[in-house]
Amino acid sequence: MKKLFLPKVSSLLLLAALSCNEKPTQVDYTTLSDEARLEAAKEIAHETIMVDGHVDLPYRMKVGGFTLQREILDVSERTDGGNFDFPRAKEGGLDAPFMSIYLPARYQQTGGAKTLADSLILMTKRLAETWPEKFAMANSPDDIEANFKAGKISLPMGMENGAGIEDDINNVAYFHEKGIRYITLTHGKDNLIGDSSYDTSRTHGGLTTFGEQVVKEMNRVGIMVDISHVSDDTFYDVMKLTDVPVIASHSSCRKYTPGFERNMDDEMIKLLGKKKGVIMINFGGSFIDGDYNERTAEVREHIVNWLAKNELSRSDSAAQVYIKKYVAEHNVFPDVTLVADHIDHVVKIAGIDHVGLGSDFDGVGDSLPNGLKDVSMYPNLIAELLKRGYSKDDVEKICYKNVFRVWRAVETAAENS
């Protein structure tokens, strides 16, 4: 029997439901006050496993100068910068952020993509080794469930850019052994696997022959295929080829960002759903709001002109005061409600079983929407969904059940191959 959920703040509703010896009924979250609904959202966030498809902490550590030979970034405590650390994750109810093993496209030209991937994997594992009471590695949904019961944050890993495979198909199995559970086939440039959404060269017209081998090998060993970052042609080639559902680990809906191929259009979302896949919504400003970049450019231009007119630099105290005030008065950021709009749109096109969360925290800079600035703020999004009529079961699907379903299907196919 499904466990009945009644938020603590709704005790009056509970008493009302129990009056006259009636059986308690599920709370209608749309009738709650905003304050009560947020408290209900916080409770749901903490009692439900929450998976985020893409958090760029490993590369944040690398950029910050932390290496395997030096003291690692202490995300076991609250940090001044970035979007992720243990305390904030616990506040927001985040249980399993996929650690992005991000490989910049330049490594496709310079070489060393596999070496970088290995170092970021080791750095991620070092987090779990250094703070085993707080973090644990996770190679499966079962691992995440066990870690959740133990109160630990799981660190599953996905490799962002298949360039780490280099030109050796054996590296697919190699990375599976290392704990990689999804591979984003491309990143900012076309690679040996296929074409990127950001690269207008269209070098291959979709997947390459080697890319087809990679997809099949990922199916065989049990690595989820991630179609975020690929061109439309590459996406359709993958969908024709794969034997199992795929994910988009951190993409949003092109409906709200016309012409932005990095997001998925309605036909792609519909096909992804038909093939039982999941799109995990990216929170970045330019991913959810088609006008975000234009608004940001206008504010930036004004500040540059003001600095020139007043013969000041950004580092001057007077300039910093002005910039802070001007930015606050001309807030360019979208709102958490727009992230919910993207979720609504996927549900309308493909159904509730085909959407998840893929924030891109630590990967999209300061473009994050109001109400979703870091990992402590997921309840704000859940509250917005409850306000729109989503049930607790719907929220559970978005938070983890949908991606778990895909992940288990990939595991099962690999076991039977």
Q: What is the tens place of the pLDDT at every residue in 181-213?
A: 999 999 999 999 999 999 999 999 999 999 999
Range scoring the smallest mean pLDDT among 13-17, 100-104, 157-161, 172-176: 13-17
Nearest to 394 by CA among 349, 355, 359, 363: 355
DSSP 57-103: HHHHHHHTT--TTSPPP-TTS--SSSS--HHHHHHHT--EEEEEEE-
Q: How far apart are CA 366 and CA 319, in angstroms?
A: 19
Q: What is the tens place of the pLDDT at every residue in 24-82?
A: 457 899 999 999 999 999 999 999 999 999 999 999 999 887 766 567 889 999 998 89
* Domain ranges across the chain: 49-289+336-415, 294-333
Q: What is the tens place of the pLDDT at every residue in 357-368?
A: 999 999 999 899
The listed CATH number (3.30.300.20, 3.40.50.10860, 3.20.20.140, 3.40.140.10) that belongs to domain 49-289+336-415: 3.20.20.140
Q: What is the pTM of this model?
A: 0.90
Average per-residue pLDDT in the chain? 92
Q: How far apart are CA 403 and CA 88, in angstroms?
A: 23
Q: What is the tens place of the pLDDT at every residue in 211-233?
A: 999 999 999 999 999 999 999 99
Q: How far apart are CA 171 and CA 173, in angstroms?
A: 5
Res 123 pLDDT > 80: yes
